[in-house]
Amino acid sequence: MPERPASSPEPHLHHIRVERTARYYTLGGRDDVPTTTWWFVLHGYSQLAGQFIRFFSDLAADDSRVVAPEALNRYYIVNPEVAPVRERPVGATWMTREDRESEVADYVEYLDAVFDEVTGGGLADGNHVNVIGFSQGAATASRWISHGRVPATRLILWGGLVPPDADLSRGPYALRGVPVTFVLGSRDHYVSDAMFEEDVARLSRIGITPSVIRFDGGHAVSRAALRELTGA
């Protein structure tokens, strides 16, 4: 790469809004049966929604629908020298540190649009809306709850924590007052006990007492933990 001239001008940053096509997957639900329970499941870094949603097939029923939106940014997970294009695995990410404010605003608006589409723009009385965020999806779910329009009745952070930039200044009404559940594997190398305890203490200081489900396993979705989560 040629050296940049010392006297070269600084570039000016601009943003432009464009339409694009996103995708999401669903499991469960029937057109002739009212959906009473919704599960919005947000995948982690390098995952794809079509594969991720399969971990939650036990939640699908005639009156229970699972919805898995896919992050807007897809990429090849391995370098070109590792495998040819047709064999390279593809993953998706919700955001990076680059232009992060725009990325967050975009995915919150996108998730609101998915919610509106699958629910027809409204919910019947007594509907339950559960939002599960796995790994990177935990931060995404937290921001969606905080900044979006989803009328969630429960926020489940699985293998992830509340993001450090979350606005907790509203005390117990932070995260819009939605009850929080942590689900953590005993060998999860991405969330240490110290990190988890610090997050719980952070929430406790503002009057939020999360519930916790522990399971024997690592950074993964556990069917046993899912059964405990649903009380099955």
188: which residues sit within 8 A by CB, 6+ positions away? Answer: 159, 217, 218, 219
Is residue 3 over pLDDT 80?
no
1: confidence class by pLDDT, cuts 50, 70, 90: low
Indicate the average pLDDT of the chain. Answer: 94
Residues in contact with 178: Cβ distance below 8 Å, sequence separation at least 6, in sequence order: 131, 145, 152, 153, 154, 155
The pTM is what?
Answer: 0.93
The token duo for 167 is 């606005």
- Per-residue pLDDT of 123-154, as tens digits, reads 888 899 999 999 999 999 999 999 999 999 99
Give the domains, in start order, of the chain with CATH numbers: 27-230 (3.40.50.1820)
Which carries the bigger pLDDT value, residue 79 or residue 211? 211
With 80 as the cut, is the pLDDT of residue 117 above it? yes
Dump pLDDT digits (tens) for 72-112: 999 999 888 777 888 889 999 999 999 999 999 999 999 99
> Is there a contact between 53 and 24 (Cβ–Cβ < 8 Å)?
no
Measured between alpha carbons, how far is 145 from 154 in angstroms, rounded to an integer?
Answer: 10
Residue 34 phi, psi dihedral angles, 5° rounding: -60, 135
Helix/strand number for the chain, H first, E second: 5, 9
Residue labelled with tokens 């559960």: 130
